[in-house]
Amino acid sequence: MHQSSDGPRHVPVLLHRADEILGPALHSEGAVYLDCTLGLGGHAEYFLQTYPNIRLVGLDRDTAALKLAGERLAPFRDRITLVHTRYDGIPNALEQAGLPEKGSVSAILMDLGVSSMQLDEADRGFAYSIDAPLDMRMDSSTGPTAADVLNTYSHGELARVLKTYGEERFAGKIASEILRRRQRTPFTTSAQLVELLYDTIPAAARRTGGHPAKRTFQALRVEVNRELESLEAAMPAALDALAPGGRIVVMSYQSLEDRVVKLELAKRSASRTPLDLPVELPGMGPEFKILTRGAEKATEQEIEENPRAAPVRMRAAERIAGEDRA
């Protein structure tokens, strides 16, 4: 979902590469384009303009983003259905759009992570460079905040979150300090947490690997929004939604997301015929063909124009067979 904050219209990440991959699936009349992470609507606007025969189903869990995207996409209102849901709500979103949850979609884009709007809004608490309330919810209408996590989780739960979702090697030490400080003053702002991290992470470790708060803030955001759980449920639903010849592009911004995407695409692009048989059994061949070699990255020029594209990892696949798995 990362879109540059340079300029008022925002530059969607890897837009033209996404078009190269998804475009061949969008030429037919009434083709359905499913944008699972609508954000501010940059990708969606481009595809609606470029392919005048397509229909958009756009999903986002952020009501503020949906409102802004709806205003941006108003010229196409007769061709769009916008749905307030996480991306693991794909089946229900398709039902709201009057479409079957399986085999009805021509092209899917999943641009994961935090949108520029969320990063740039000071009161969201996503950015460690701005002192703000520790919220971090993508859908600010529901669920616990990052402050709730810091103030209520046990030492073991905090250490697990920081180590698993942030790959933070000082997770245990940070968790201990969180418990010690919250007894005196509950956590309410990002500055409190950043100060703790500077005080807790050894100076030698702070000199490498970027900002010392980066891993902890990522871990809290993933936990608060249940991002990996949502993605693990969304990937199979997205692949099932594609018609034969349909294509999917997924952009990840951290290794944990990319691993979920990689494993699901690998599973669905492998033959299910037993290895000791000399011929492919009917209906047991791969359902998908991988369209990218490994994970593609942004070019140096794109990163220069849009620094938030630096960590992106893009994977893509095409459905080559219907779902006939036993």
CA distance 47 to 22: 9
Could you list the residues known to form a binding site for S-adenosyl-L-methionine, using ranges.
41-43, 60, 87, 111, 118
Q: Of the candidates 237, 247, 245, which has an alpha carbon nearest to the alpha carbon of residue 102?
A: 237
Q: Which residues are annotated as a binding site?
A: 41-43, 60, 87, 111, 118
The helix (run of H) or strand (run of E) holding residue 260 is helix 255-268
Q: How far is CA 92 from CA 67, 81, 234, 281, in A?
A: 20, 12, 12, 34
Cα dihedral sign, 120-126-132-134 = positive
Q: Which of 260, 268, 265 is nearest to 229 (CA)?
A: 260
Sheet holding 242-252, edge to edge: 80-84, 55-60, 32-35, 105-111, 242-252, 313-319, 288-290
Q: Which of 12, 221, 238, 260 is nearest to 114 (CA)?
A: 221
CA atoms within 13 A on the CB side of 145: 17
**Exposure string over 282-298, b if 16+ CB within 10 A, otherwise e:** eeeebbbebbbeebbeb
Query: What's the CA gap between 84 and 233, in Å, rounded?
Result: 17
Nearest to 161 by CA among 228, 112, 212, 115: 228
DSSP 121-179: -GGG---TTS--BS---SSTTSS--HHHHHHHS-HHHHHHHHHHHH--TTHHHHHHHHH
